[in-house]
Structure formats: C-alpha cells, structure tokens
A and B are shown apart, each in its own frame.
Chain A
C-alpha cells in the first residue's frame, strides 16, 4: 500500500517521524482516517483514540488529546497536546484521575469552568482506561 510521510509531535517532543500507510484520530468533526495522496487538509483534534498503520502493516494505537492535523503536499503533521501510545499508558494513574474527576463532579456548587475542566479530565481518564484495558 502507498505510504506517506507522517510526523507526530506532542508538547514533550517528537513522538513519531516516518512513513505510514494510514493515520486515524477523532477530530472535532468526528472520526477521520488519512491515507496517502489525501487532498490538502486541516482540522482540529478532539479527545479520542488514534491509530497509526505503519509501513509494514502493523498497527499502533494511542490516546490523543487536542491539537491539529494537517496534510499539506503529501506531508502529514499531527500536532497533539498529549499523545500516549497504548503501551505507555499508566493504568493506575488513569484510574485515580477518573476517581478524582468523579469526586469533583459530585460537588453541586462547582463553577462552570471547573466543571468543564473536570468533565474533560474524566473523558481523558476514561479514554486511557479503555485503551489500556484492551491491550
């Protein structure tokens, strides 16, 4: 299958730089997969599962939170806020984060902004747990 050059970065540095057959992730508009020879494209990423099909056909999954995805002249760049390969996810930590977020959401006097932040935290934690438990 045709491959394209894919670069994945998160704020802690370069995560992946190489050829790939396919990259998929959840955008603000819904799930999306990019193949080689895609039209020039730009979108923003939401919280969700992401996957890369490597040159040799093997598939790696990751938890991807926020950022942007662009495909310009055959070069795909995925800039995430955080990107964790499934095998790197700390399940214990994610479980604890979920508990904390749930506890916080129970408070009825929560400010709108803090509630939003806690709901986002919960979503991230649940994503990590679901990915890590599957492996």
Chain B
C-alpha cells in the first residue's frame, strides 16, 4: 500500500468529519426549533377547527345571501399560495411540495404567490407569473403579513382576476410524517361543496341572523378567515420543514459515521500492511548480507 494512498484516505476522513459536524449541528438546531414550531402549530389547530366548524355551520344554515366571495366567477385562472422552505437540506420537503403543485396545476392557467425563498427561486426559474415576492422569508411571516396576503388575495379575487384561489402547503402529521396537501381559499363555494356532500342528508336548515347584513359580515370576516387559514398552513409547513430537516440530517450524520468507520478500518489495515512490508524488507535485507 502506497503512502500517497494513505494520505488520500486520511484527507477523505477529515473532510467527512467536518461534514458530519455540520450535519450534526443542523440536526440539533432543527430539533430545538422544531419543538417551538410544533407548539405553535398545535396551538393554531383548535382555532382553525373552530373557524372551520363555524363556516360550515353558516354554509349549512344559509340559503339566501350573495357575497362576491361565495360564488365562483367565470374566470378559469387559478392563484396558488405556495408555502415552501427558506433553505434546502430538508430531505424531500421542498421537492415534494413542488411535485404536488405540478400535479395540481397540470393543464391549468395559474399564478403563484410564493412564501419561502425556495418557492420564490423555483417559480422565478420556471418563469411562472409571480404575484409578489414580498413574503420570501417564511420563517419571519407573522399574523400581520398573513392579513396583507389575505388583502392581496381578496382584492384580486374581487377584481375578477382569478376564478379560484388555493393554498398548497405541507401538513404536519407527526415528527416522521409530513404530507404535502392543498386547501381551497376562494370562492367559499369551493370549500363548501365538499362539506355539503357530507351533510346533504340533513334537510332542515337553520336560519341565522346576520347583523348588520350578511354581506357586511362576510366582507369583514372573509379576509380574516383567509389570513387565519394561511397562518395555520404556514405554521404547519414550518413545523414540517424542521421535522424533515431533522430526519434528513439525522440520516446524514449516521451515514457519515458509517463511512468514517469503514475508512478508518481501511486506513488502519493499510498502515499495518505498510509496517509489515517494511519489516519484511528489513529482514530480507539482513538475511541477504
């Protein structure tokens, strides 16, 4: 075994070691951030459920109002709010959400409102029509930003620029499972149609009193509802990203450890072989004299 080969192995080992340090650090950072993100996602879940239940109740009970938000307009164009990560190194997290989007948008005309650097980069690269890049850092998005997003969506929808608006995000199912999914935002009928299939068996409709009028109530509620929906989706996505990163970096650290074990075994063997060879040479030389 040549000495130069041993040096190469040593170099390789050192490089793997430093990579392993990085992956381990990233895993630890993701794990500690994940706890907080998970708490936040868990906290918003009851809000979302109550909001959803309420809107379903209204949809079921309602027979007689018109709002620009409730009925689909004729426009075929879709707007997708896509929530991806700010960084890579999270296994299939970003790729999965883009694959889901590709599936959803097949054959449709659509614009995107990307949240997260990766989403902005992806759609800029594909020259998709981007509504705004103002929300590129998904980690820093707060409720105020979600309200601005909801305003943008509502304005565009009221102007008739889009026929349907939906959000595409990653649902946090458990620490080990995250699933890309999508949810309708506007018109509200997109969202209610699904519900009505379930409750069709119940023919009695409750009347609800709206004050001052159903239109005014809806104009005030819908932007807030959309903001809450986007906020929930964002919280789920951030938790998913961190969970995905933790898992990916855990696997990377384990792999690096394995490689290191194999290489050090190889290196030690090579070292032993070179010593043995040297001794053999010396002994042979001594015998020769």
Contact = CB atoms under 8 A, between A and B. Distances in A.
Interface of A: 7, 9-14, 27-29, 32, 39-44, 66-68, 70, 72-73, 77, 79, 81-82
B209 A79 contact: no
Contacts, number: 88
B217 to A, nearest CB: 5
- Categorize the interface residue count of chain B: 20 to 34
B221 A72 contact: no
A13 B58 contact: no
Contacts of A82: 143
A73 B143 contact: no
B211 A66 contact: no
Given A11-B228, A68-B54, A79-B47, A41 B221 contact: no
B206 A43 contact: no
B51 interface: yes
Do most interface residues of chain B lie in helix, strand or loop, or is the interface mixed? Answer: helix
Contacts of B53: 77
Question: A-B pairs with the 6 shortest C-beta distances?
Answer: A13-B43, A44-B220, A9-B47, A14-B46, A40-B208, A72-B57
B50 A9 contact: yes
Contacts of B208: 40-42, 70, 72
Given A40-B206, A42-B210, A72 B224 contact: no
Contact of B209 (A7, A14, A27, A41): A41
A9 B61 contact: no
A82 B46 CA distance: 15
B216 interface: yes
Contact of A39 (B209, B224, B228): B209
A85 to B, nearest CB: 16
A32 B212 CA distance: 12
Contacts of A12: 40, 43-44, 47
Contacts of A70: 54, 57-58, 208
A13 B210 CA distance: 26
Contacts of B225: 68
Given A13-B47, A29-B211, A77-B54, A68 B224 contact: yes
A57 B228 CA distance: 32
Nearest to A82: B143
A13 B44 CA distance: 5
Contacts of B50: 7, 9, 14, 77, 79
B231 interface: yes
